[in-house]
């Protein structure tokens, strides 16, 4: 958990069929303040994750780190490069252990 706002975020995608044609909801939670940002997307791609974070940054400011699961959209080289350009540390959890992402899950 973050001790100050924008210290630690958690992000994940979840399927929400009611949002078709953009059924994938990307959700970010600031672990200190509890602020939530959600955006809908057609697919769970690296580009979708990056677009989501740009929206979240516009609302919340830039985080120090973002914790995600090991989904390919979060582990892609383009996502790592994007985070590096923004000065954000990407942290992935232990595979098949959702408790490390308990706040956003």
Percent of the chain residues past pLDDT 90, beyond the cut:
85
Q: How far apart are CA 70 and CA 12, in angstroms?
A: 10
Residue-level pLDDT at 93? 80
What pLDDT digit, counting tens, does each position of 28-57 carry? 999 999 999 999 999 999 999 999 999 999
8-93 CATH fold: Nucleotidyltransferase; domain 5 (3.30.420)
Q: Which residue has the tokens 């350009």?
A: 85
Domain ranges of the chain: 8-93
Q: How far apart are CA 38 and CA 13, in angstroms?
A: 9
State pTM to two decimals.
0.88
Pairing mode of beta strands 24-30, 65-68: unpaired
């Amino acid at each position: 958990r973050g001790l100050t706002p924008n210290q630690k975020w958690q992000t994940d995608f979840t399927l929400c069929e009611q949002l078709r044609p953009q059924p994938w909801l990307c959700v970010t939670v600031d672990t200190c303040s509890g602020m939530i940002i959600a955006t809908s997307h057609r697919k769970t791609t690296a580009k979708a994750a990056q677009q989501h974070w740009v929206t979240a940054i516009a609302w919340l400011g830039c985080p120090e780190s973002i914790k995600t699961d090991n989904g390919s959209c979060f582990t892609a080289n383009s996502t790592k490069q994007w985070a590096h350009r923004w000065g954000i540390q990407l942290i992935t959890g232990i595979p098949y252990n959702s408790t490390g992402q308990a706040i956003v899950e």
